[in-house]
Structure 1
Amino acid sequence: MIKNNLSVRFITISVEEAGQRIDNFLIMRLKNVPKSMIYRIVRKGEVRVNKKRVKPEYKLQNHDELRIPPVQIADNEQPLISARLEKVAALNDAVLYEDDYLLILNKPAGTAVHGGSGLSFGVIEGLRALRPNALFLELVHRLDRDTSGVLLIAKKHSALRSLHTQLRTKGIQKDYLALVRSKWKSNIKTVSAPLLKNIITSGERIVRVHKDGKPSETHFKVEERFTLATLVRASPVTGRTHQIRVHAQYAGHPIAFDDRYGDINFDQRLKGCGLHRLFLHAVALCFNHPGSGETLRIEAPLDVSLRQCLLYLRAYHKYPHA
C-alpha cells in the first residue's frame, strides 16, 4: 500500500470556501485520490462536518469544522498523473485570459471538460494536475467534447457564484460559429423550439424537439456564404444540452460533421476540406467580471483545421454575389 495523508486533518471552512459541495471540496483538496475513494469515505462516515456524518451533496457553511481521515491508496489505484500530463500540458498554451478570479481557455475539440462516461479525466482534472497548488478550480459552464472554444473556469467560489448568477439571469452573452448545410435564409434570425433530452441504452444523450421539452431559443446570423454551406453565428439565449446542434438541424441546416444530428451526404460533399470534426466553435464570451464588475469580452481564434476548412470553401465553393 502507498499511504497518503497519514494523519487526521481538521479544516475550518472560510467564507470563500463556503457554499460548495463537500464532494467537490474534497476532490480539490485530495488531488491524487480517486473520486471513487472520496465518495466511499464520505458514504462510510469517515468524513465528518461538525462531528456529524454528511452526504456528498452537503454544502459547506462558513466556520464548519471538517474532519478528513487518513487516506490509503493501493498501487493499482494510483492515478496516472504523469502519463496524463503530456496530454494536458497543452492546456497551458490554450489559456486566453487569467487573473485571481478567472482562468479562460480556448478548449481544443475532442477534449471533454470533465471526466466521466468512460473518460478518466478532462479539462478540469488536467488543470488541477497541472496546478497542484490551486485551492479552487471549477467549471462555470460546459462545452460538448467535440466543440472547441471559450471555456470559463472560476478560481474563487465567489467568482463561481457571481458567474452562475449571470448565467441564470442571461447576463452572459455566448457566440458560436457553425458551418451548416446549404443556404441559410437571412430572415431566419431566431429558432424557438422546446428541447427534450433522452438517455439511450448506450448512455449517450440524444436531444430532440418535442412539445414536452424545455423552452429553448437560439439567435442565428449569417456570417459567410458558400455554394455548399453557410457559416453562421449562433447565440443561445437558453443553455440546453446540444441546443445549437439540434436547433440548426430543426431549421433544416445540420452542422458539418455532426455525428449525432448531422447529414452524412453533406459531410461527404465537404470531404475535400480535410475536416474530420464538428464545425462548432465557441468564438466569444461577454460577461461582467466577478471582481471588478467591468464588462469583459473574450474571443477564441479558430483552430487550424477550422481555418483550413474555410480557406478551402473560399477557394473552391465561393458563393457568387448577386
Structure 2
Amino acid sequence: MKQEINQKVQFITVDSEMTGQRIDNFLRTQLKGVPKSMLYRIVRKGEVRVNKKRIKPEYKLQIDDVVRIPPVRVAQENEPPSTNLTKVSALESQIIYEDDVLIVVNKPSGMAVHGGSGLSFGLIEALRALRPEQRFLELVHRLDRDTSGILLVAKKRSALKSLHEQLRDKTVDKRYQALVSGQWPENRFKVKAPLQKNVLQSGERMVSVNPEGKPSETRFRILQQFENATLVEASPVTGRTHQIRVHCQHAGHSIACDDKYGDKAFEQHMQAIGLKRLFLHAYRIAFIHPKEGKQVSFIAPLEVSLQQTLDKLTLSH
C-alpha cells in the first residue's frame, strides 16, 4: 500500500536540541521510514532547503535555521498489524523508567533493537508506535537480538549526545549476568582478547579472536558456582559486537544456549532442563543522568525462565 510519510511541505526552525547535526541525520529523524537513498536524492535535487538555499548532505544545522522539508511518498508493505500490536502493548510493561529525556526498557530476548536485515519491526519501532507524539526517539546503545535486559533510549538529542560521550569515555557501568559452562576459575577476573568481525556469505555476522582485531576487554566476577556451570557477572570495558559471548568462548566457558559460539553438549544439557534461549541478560546499568547531572542506576531482574533454570541446577560445594 502507498503510505504518505509527509503529505505537505514542512518548515522547521532549528532549536538548540537540533543544532550541530548534519542535515541528512536530521532528515532521518524527521522522515522515519524513508530510505537513505531517497533522502540524499531530495537534498541533491535541492528540494530540501535551509534558509531558502540549497545545501549539501554534510551541512550542519545552526540555531534558528529554517529547514524546508518537501512532501515525500514511499511505498511500504504493511505487516499484519495483530502481531505488531501485541509486541507494542507487551513492551509498555517492560519500561522500567521514563522521564522527559530518557526511557529505560527491559528488552525481551528474541526482539531485535531495530528493524533491518529482513526484520521490519524492532524495539525502537515498537517504542515509536507506543509514543507517537514523541518526535525524537533514538537508541543510545544496542543489545544482540537474543540478549535480554536494560536498554537506554533517548527522547532528546542532548541526552543522546551526553550518553554517547559517557559511553566513549567508558564511564557507563554495564553489567550482565551469564550462565557459562564448567567451573569459571576463581582467579580469572578479566579477558583481554582482540576481536574481529566477519560477515559470512549468508550475511550472518561472526566474531572471532584475532590479533588483527580491535582491542577488547571484559571483566568477570563469579556470582554462583554450580556442579557443571557458573553464573558470572560480565562487565564489558569496550563495546564490541558479541564481545561477552566470544570472550566467554575464548576463556573455554561458553554461554548456555549460544547458537553461534556455544558448546553443543552443554547446550543439550541446558535444553533438557528447559532453557530455550541464550542465558545472557543485561541486568544493571549506571551512568550520569543527562539532565539531572547525578549518578543513577537501574536493575532489570532475570526473567522467570532464566531464574527457573538456575533453580534446577545443583550448587557446587
Question: TM-score surpassing 0.5?
Answer: yes
Distance 1:250 1:318, change over 3 A: same
Indicate whether 1:54 and 2:66 are aligned: no
Q: Secondary structure at the match of 1:85?
A: helix
1:98-109 map, 5 Å:
98-109=98-109
Indicate whether 1:318 and 2:308 are aligned: no
User: Could you tell me how far apart the structure 1 residues matched to 2:168 and 2:253 are?
Assistant: 29
Matched with 1:13 is 14
Indicate whether 1:264 and 2:264 are aligned: yes
User: Could you tell me how far apart the structure 2 residues matched to 1:122 and 1:58 are?
Assistant: 30
User: Could you tell me how far apart the structure 2 residues matched to 1:210 and 1:234 are?
Assistant: 21
Once the 2 structures are TM-superposed, how far is the Cα of residue 29 of structure 1 from its aligned partner?
2.9
Gaps of 5+ in 1: none
Moved more, 195-204 or 64-73: 64-73
* TM-score, length basis structure 1: 0.90
Distance 1:262 1:60, change over 3 A: farther
Once the 2 structures are TM-superposed, how far is the Cα of residue 26 of structure 1 from its aligned partner?
3.2
Q: Is the 8 A contact 1:192 1:216 kept in 2?
A: yes
Indicate whether 1:163 and 2:160 are aligned: no
Q: Secondary structure at the match of 1:270?
A: helix
User: Could you tell me how far apart the structure 2 residues matched to 1:4 and 1:178 are?
Assistant: 42
Instruction: Kindly provide the amino acid, as one letter, of the partner of residue 56 in structure 2.
Output: V
User: Could you tell me how far apart the structure 2 residues matched to 1:44 and 1:93 are?
Assistant: 44
Matched with 1:213 is 213
Aligned residues: 314
Q: Secondary structure at the match of 1:180?
A: strand
1:177-196 map, 5 Å:
177-196=177-196
User: Could you tell me how far apart the structure 2 residues matched to 1:238 and 1:174 are?
Assistant: 10
User: Could you tell me how far apart the structure 2 residues matched to 1:58 and 1:86 are?
Assistant: 40
* TM-score, length basis structure 2: 0.92
CA deviation vs aligned residue, 1:254-306 (integer Å, no higher than 9, x gap): 10111111111111122232111110000100001111111101000111211
Identity percentage of aligned residues: 60
Matched with 1:237 is 237
1:1-322 map, 5 Å:
3=4, 5-31=6-32, 38=39, 41-42=42-43, 44-50=45-51, 51-55=53-57, 59-74=60-75, 77=76, 79-80=78-79, 82-83=81-82, 84-313=84-313, 317-319=314-316, 321=317
Distance 1:106 1:73, change over 3 A: same
Instruction: Kindly provide the amino acid, as one letter, of the partner of residue 262 in structure 1.
Output: G
Gaps of 5+ in 2: none
